[in-house]
Amino acid sequence: MFLTIPTLLTWARIVAIPLIVGVFYLPIDEPSRNLIATVLFVVVALTDWLDGYLARRLNQTSAFGAFLDPVADKFLVCAALLILVQLGRLHALIALVIIGREIAISALREWMAQIGASRSVAVHMLGKVKTTVQMVAIPFLLYDGTLLGLVSTQLWGTVLILLSAVLTIWSMVYYLQKALPEIRAKAR
């Protein structure tokens, strides 16, 4: 099911990543670049919710869609984090923690699927909360200004991305603990 509406939305999320990154290379003023990139990121991030909703609603779920959706999310988050590091709005260590966890848990899930134990590392609410916090923090950091003359997006983005890093580590430990009994059983 490569060409269902939900899968096309997921593909659109992947295709939009270079657009978000490319905004920062446009010959326009920084506040305009920040605003355009933020709006693009938010719209693209919302397609994650929309493609899942439509897949269930239209009964168009597929194994390929289930594979591609988290890949698109990881590409989007990783690209945004790398841009934020380049812009000096995010410390590289925080980006490394978040990106490293994504790689480690993806590898763990793949390995657990190969040994027939994928249920032990199924998506948990902790991982969903982590993703939600990231998806709120990133636009704040991309915008890098003051909203409504009151809200410092840099301050709130920094607080939220730090919270995201804590949730990232916590969720990684959770998934590793869930996988450990299966790993021990297969090692015997």
As a whole number of angstroms, the distance between CA 122 and CA 135 comes to: 21
Give me the helix-helix angle, 63-86 and 125-143, nearest 10°.
40
For the chain, the domain total comes to 1
Q: Token match 């920062």: residue?
A: 24
- Answer yes or no: are the C-beta atoms of 124 and 174 closer than 8 Å: yes
Report how far apart, in Å, the C-alpha atoms of 121 and of each of 8, 62, 105, 118 are.
27, 19, 9, 6
Q: At 141, is the pLDDT very low, low, confident or very high (cuts 50, 70, 90)?
A: very high
Residue type, 120: S
Domain that holds residue 100: 5-187
Q: At 24, is the pLDDT very low, low, confident or very high (cuts 50, 70, 90)?
A: very high
Model confidence at 1: pLDDT above 60: no
Residue 159 exposed, middle or buried by CB count within 10 Å (0-12, 13-18, 19+)? middle
CATH number for the domain harbouring residue 34: 1.20.120.1760
Residue that wins the pLDDT comparison between 90 and 6? 90
Strand partners, 152: 146
| 38-48: average pLDDT | 94
pTM: 0.89
| 172-183: average pLDDT | 85
Q: Can you give the pLDDT at residue 78?
A: 95
Give the 3-state DSSP-derived string for 107-169, with helices as H, strands as E and coil as C: HHHHHHHHCCCHHHHCCCHHHHHHHHHHHHHHHHHHHCCEECCCEEHHHHHHHHHHHHHHHHH
Q: Can you give the pLDDT at residue 187?
A: 67
Model confidence at 56: pLDDT above 70: yes
Question: For the ranges 2-6, 74-78, 146-150, which has the lowest average pLDDT?
Answer: 2-6
The token duo for 84 is: 């934020």
Q: At 63, is the pLDDT very low, low, confident or very high (cuts 50, 70, 90)?
A: confident
% of the chain beyond a pLDDT of 90: 59
As a whole number of angstroms, the distance between CA 69 and CA 65 comes to: 6
Average pLDDT score, the chain: 90
